[in-house]
Structure 1
């Protein structure tokens, strides 16, 4: 029975191995992945198999052509880069203050980062919104 199973796996490798996603080209760190950057490869190696888990994500490291993708290699795309100027907003009830700020860290939407208020030269903690503004944490 075991010999039959080994023979079946040798003749039809797709039965024993699931297709995983690999880089179709070398993807430098910071690249936002598109469908054209992926290809399916058969192999016994672990990796992502669902394209929706990779498309739209940003690479943390350089991923070389043919290398299987893992979740640890990807991150949500960065909206704000370190030292980038952005709109800093403080809101409390009806009071809303907007000023210019400088990001002190890289961030994706929803991340909490430090931002320097350019008017007062003080650092505050703020949450990055999907439009790239930073809302001061209260």
Structure 2
């Protein structure tokens, strides 16, 4: 029905890509519906894919239609096979065009979402990249010598220790000091751990 198509078209405007909408024809026994009003039976329905649209009539009766919303647009894939532990750069990616609504859940569509991250596992050339396949680049490696920094009003203390964990920016890691004491802090830079103190 035209009312369902127009409703989905309005709902899909924010997607910013070319959208194809197909609404299944209602069965032949559908009665006349005066002043039809379209709505979504469930607020949890996705923006694309298979969607159920409700049609409420002036008489109070309700009918349901099935529709398919396909979104066409650009996304980025590896230009070549990428080994695990590689930092993603612009040179490693190429743009593809296709139906992004058919890509797996969690696929990263924008290049900026990948740049600077590190591959958790090998990535195949031409295959869409999913969020779980990338991670923040580690700034501290396990067993690496690191600098502990404890700073506050009127003091700045630095000590060296050995990291017991691997961590990216902001991650909490443990550090063993030369006297065997273990202190936890957060990664604040390459090879640097910030320790919060209670001193003012």
Scaled by the length of structure 2, the TM-score of the pair is 0.56
Superposed displacement of residue 92, structure 1: 4.6
**Aligned residue for 2:135?**
75
- C-alpha separation in 1, matches of 2:182 and 2:79: 42
Match of 1:126 among 153, 178, 185: 185
Superposed displacement of residue 93, structure 1: 3.8
Match of 1:28 among 73, 83, 87: 83
Match of 1:104 among 154, 164, 167: 164
- C-alpha separation in 2, matches of 1:50 and 1:76: 16
Asked if the contact 1:88–1:117 (Cα under 8 Å) also holds between the matched residues in 2, the reply is no
Task: Report the count of equivalent residues.
Answer: 126
Asked if the contact 1:125–1:137 (Cα under 8 Å) also holds between the matched residues in 2, the reply is no
Pair member with larger Rg = 2
Q: Which has the higher helix share?
A: 1
* Aligned ranges 1:14-93 → 2 under 5 Å: 16-43=71-98, 44-46=102-104, 47-93=107-153
Uncovered stretches (5+) of structure 2, i.e. residues with no partner: 2-20, 23-69
Aligned-pair Cα RMSD in Å: 2.2
Relative distance call for 1:122 and 1:45 in structure 2 (3 A) is same
Cα shift readout 1:55-82 (whole Å, capped 9, x = no counterpart) = 1111111111111111221111111111
- C-alpha separation in 1, matches of 2:150 and 2:103: 49
Uncovered stretches (5+) of structure 1, i.e. residues with no partner: 7-14
The higher-RCO structure (CA 8 Å, 6+ apart) is: 1
Superposed displacement of residue 131, structure 1: 4.4
